[in-house]
Amino acid sequence: ELSKWRPEVIELWEKCSVPETINKETFQKSFIRHVNTTLARSIYNVDNFSAYQATAHAVRDRLIQRWNETQQIHTERDQKRVYYLSLEFLLGRSLDNALLNLGLKDSFGEGVKELGFKMEDILDQEVDAALGNGGLGRLAACYMDSLATLCYPAWGYGVRYTYGIFQQKIVDGYQDEFPDYWLNFDNPWELPRVDIVVDVQFGGHVNKITEGDKVRHEWIGGETVQAVAYDVPIPGYGVKNCINIRLWNSKPRRKFDFGKFNAGEYDQAVQEQMKAEFLTAVLYPNDNHMVGKELRLKQQYFWVAASLHDIVRRFKKSQRDWNEFPDQVAIQLNDTHPALAIVELQRILVDEERLDWDAAWDIVTHTFAFTNHTVLPEAMEKWPVPMISQLLPRHIQIIFDLNLFFLQRVEKFAPGDRDFLARLSIIEESTPQYVRMAHLAIVGSHRVNGVAKLHSKLIKETIFKDFVKYYGPDKFENKTNGITPRRWLHQANPKLSELITETLGHKDWLKDLTLLKKLEESVHDKEFRRRWMAVKHSNKVRLAEYIRDVVDVDVNPNALFDVQVKRIHEYKRQFMNILGVIHRYNTIKSMSPEQMRDVVPRVVIFGGKAAPGYYIAKLVIKLINSVASVVNKDSTIQDLLKVIFIPDYNVSVAEIIIPASDISQHISTAGTEASGTSNMKFVLNCGLILGTVDGANIEIHEEIGDDNIFMFGHLAEQVDDLRYAHRYRDVPMDPHLDAVIKDIESGSFGEARIFAPLINTLTFGKDYYLISDDFGSYLDAQKLVDEAYKKEKDWVKKSILCTANMGQFSSDRAIKEYAESIWGIIPVKV
């Protein structure tokens, strides 16, 4: 394609495209140029925020160069690519991460200092990109970091929400939600691609056209919304590769309804335009819970259609045969949200590319793979058939056809077993009928995976049991989640990172986390232990300052910091934690001054958002704050206990909290937390954990050993029987729990009637999450924590061994496993 240019032109381009050397001086030039031109400011009015913008733009210039080179080489090599489709990418802040991954932190830091700024102040100006709810969205972000670092040819596809996850404020102890208008001031981390626009169709009808002995379908009419691409560059660590997340934004088609306009209905014509923009306005704020809003379904199709159009266009450029599609393209479905992509690809191949049905289906099923992230029934996506029919009339036909052919095969496998057929069917035969998205995702994929060993076993034994019978076990795999050590240690905990690098004598551990194992040799080194402790202490001081700033409570950095930060959900049992806190409070209150001297002072820290419609979860927040306001004021307990609820927990708040924890709690009812990823972050940052036998806790336990973790509670295989007992028998309540409940009911923490619905979940609600069954062993485990913390030397050793044995939980390991056993892709290094 260069042939259209004269050689002199090409030469000039090459001469002018030589990348600038990057050092302090060139950075400063670039900084000032951006202040002057991009921001139209000058030395007279440059504040911290404009300094942030200028620095971000200077970094962005370098990112774009790398991004271009990466795209160019990936196009040239034309290797198989993976496309990661995720409705959530919880990226957090980008500046610090980009500086570290590009190796520019020191030189740029010096550079801004000489210009009269502090790097910390500049970094603090950035707002989080919070396009996700919790673990699922943050996992996608960690995976993009690893894909870039390992040089895989990969793209992410998502939605550019105008409003990310809501901001949480605490008013009178209750959660209040405020819109997160994160794009308020320009976003330097995205590149608007006004040239990349895809038409997405909704509604209309389908014509059946017979041509000779062939039938084809034509989907026409309805409304069209345009998808505009915004590209977010993701730099790898210590490599030149920089990959792309393409986020789609909806906008109306340029064509304006002049008919209506001329008829005097100007406002209505404008309203229709605005409706199109509204499509990508807001992220649905539910974690592990499905809410069947039509707009959400529209978002899903909008994003899937635009992404597939893009993927197919890229494939067609190489002019290969369609059979080669699965050799060039792997598509990973992050949960069932993008499951319509399966139907859309089949539609493109059959209706537009005129492939025959079976050939098309063969391509589809070799292209897709599907990750499940939960077994909770309320999270399983299903959409009413009438809703899909209205929005996507051709897709619903395809879904019914796919289901018919699928069930015909199942019928051959299990002749006459109608129940089996009904259980496997993509369609739930209720009134109205529903499309079960997980079934669609399984039938349309060549691999299905869970996200931790126990979870992957449970999906095979419970929700997908019948599919295992039909397909055999090999279609189902485990890919234990991972986290990126770049953000979650190097960036969030710079002092620990430095100490590790100095001790090991290299930085290679950031790309091969198993190298941390060598830290084990230093546990007997007294000076090393002292420094290890000093790092933890300074991180606790940093968190204590943050707590003073946001909730105006003083906490003692020498106390044991006990943390539970994650979405508020009944299955995660923050309720059990706060009930335990009340027990602790009452125990301390009943002590003599003598006895008190033996108590380990504790700061119990909570953080997390509740879905705005989740009443019980919101009451848990209220209870935590009510307990906090009583306990924190009570001078009779001599600062032995403080309770803190940190508002608006998000990625950048997590970066302050996680490095400061002594113990963190991951205490879901066994079998309910698919994996958890914050458990990995805490242990990597040398915090011990108190956990149930659930999710990735189990594998962390295997790696770090019995002595360095506190595990308690019933096992997943006991849960059914325990629930049965609550349902049909009179199970006596744990006496300590009973006392705590009576205390709440007596009004010790404010009006008792407020908390009645919460307490009812334990009684009338049959204690579905088994708090009373685990409460005794929970309190016992907490006692062991206190005892262990008193033995300082042993505690530090445990802490070191935690970090040293986390090699397995890098997202690099996880991504390599996906690449090798599911996607079949190889690295292409720039």
Choose the catalytic residue: 394, 567, 584, 666: 567
Whether residue 633 lies in the annotated active site? no
Which H helix or E strand runs over 825? Answer: none
Q: Minimum Å distance from CB 135 to ligand 8GP?
A: 3
Choose the catalytic residue: 455, 572, 609, 726: 572
CB 568, CB 574: distance < 8 Å: yes
Query: Distance between CA atoms of 738 and 488, rounded to whole angstroms?
Result: 40
Q: Is 574 in the site for ligand 8GP (CB under 6 A)?
A: no
CB 570, CB 673: distance < 8 Å: no
Q: Is 695 in the site for ligand 8GP (CB under 6 A)?
A: yes
Q: What are phi and psi of 129, to 5 degrees?
A: -85, 105
Choose the catalytic residue: 246, 447, 681, 714: 681
The single-letter DSSP state of residue 743 is H
Whether residue 642 lies in the annotated active site? no
CB under 8 Å, gap of 24 or more: what pairs does 735-741 form?
736/583, 736/775, 736/776, 736/779, 737/579, 737/762, 737/771, 737/772, 737/775, 739/583, 739/586, 740/579, 740/582, 740/583, 740/586, 741/579
Measured distance between the N- and C-terminal CA atoms of the chain, rounded to whole angstroms? 22
Whether residue 567 lies in the annotated active site? yes
**CB nearer to ligand 8GP: pick between 235 and 695:** 695
Choose the catalytic residue: 138, 373, 622, 714: 373
Query: Distance between CA atoms of 489 and 681, rounded to whole angstroms?
Result: 8
Query: Distance between CA atoms of 143 and 815, rounded to whole angstroms?
Result: 7
Figure out which of the listed residues 136, 396, 410, 499 binds ligand 8GP, where binding follows CB under 6 A: 136
Figure out which of the listed residues 122, 154, 379, 581 binds ligand 8GP, where binding follows CB under 6 A: 379
| Part in contact with ligand 8GP (CB under 6 A); list of ranges 217-225, 323-331, 667-675, 806-814 | 667-675
Whether residue 572 lies in the annotated active site? yes
**CB nearer to ligand 8GP: pick between 125 and 372:** 372
Per-residue buried b or exposed e for 252-261, using 16+ beta carbons within 10 Å of the residue's own CB: beeeebeebe
Which H helix or E strand runs over 210? Answer: strand 205-211
Q: Is 287 in the site for ligand 8GP (CB under 6 A)?
A: yes
Choose the catalytic residue: 677, 692, 761, 803: 677
Residues 182-211, one symbol each (x = binds ligand 8GP by CB under 6 A, - = not), give ------------------------------
**CB nearer to ligand 8GP: pick between 455 and 622:** 455
**CB nearer to ligand 8GP: pick between 380 and 711:** 380
Whether residue 255 lies in the annotated active site? no
Q: What are phi and psi of 553, to 5 degrees?
A: -125, 135
Query: Distance between CA atoms of 394 and 202, rounded to whole angstroms?
Result: 10
Query: Distance between CA atoms of 607 and 597, rounded to whole angstroms?
Result: 29
Q: Is 675 in the site for ligand 8GP (CB under 6 A)?
A: yes
CB 737, CB 595: distance < 8 Å: no
Q: Is 245 in the site for ligand 8GP (CB under 6 A)?
A: no
Q: Is 96 in the site for ligand 8GP (CB under 6 A)?
A: no
Q: Is 648 in the site for ligand 8GP (CB under 6 A)?
A: no
Q: Minimum Å distance from CB 481 to ligand 8GP?
A: 5
The residue nearest ligand 8GP at its CB is 135
Please, what sign has the CA dihedral across residues 252, 257, 260, 264? positive
Give how many residues touch ligand 8GP by CB under 6 A.
18
Q: Is 608 in the site for ligand 8GP (CB under 6 A)?
A: no
Whether residue 317 lies in the annotated active site? no
CB 387, CB 399: distance < 8 Å: no
Q: What part of residues 429-488 is at the interface with ligand 8GP (CB under 6 A)?
A: 451, 481
Q: Minimum Å distance from CB 566 to ligand 8GP?
A: 9
| Part in contact with ligand 8GP (CB under 6 A); list of ranges 372-380, 525-533, 655-663, 778-786 | 372-380
CB 608, CB 575: distance < 8 Å: no
Q: Which residue numbers are catalytic? A: 373, 566-567, 572, 677, 681
Q: Site residues (CB under 6 A) for ligand 8GP? A: 134-136, 139, 287-288, 335, 373-374, 379, 451, 481, 673-677, 695
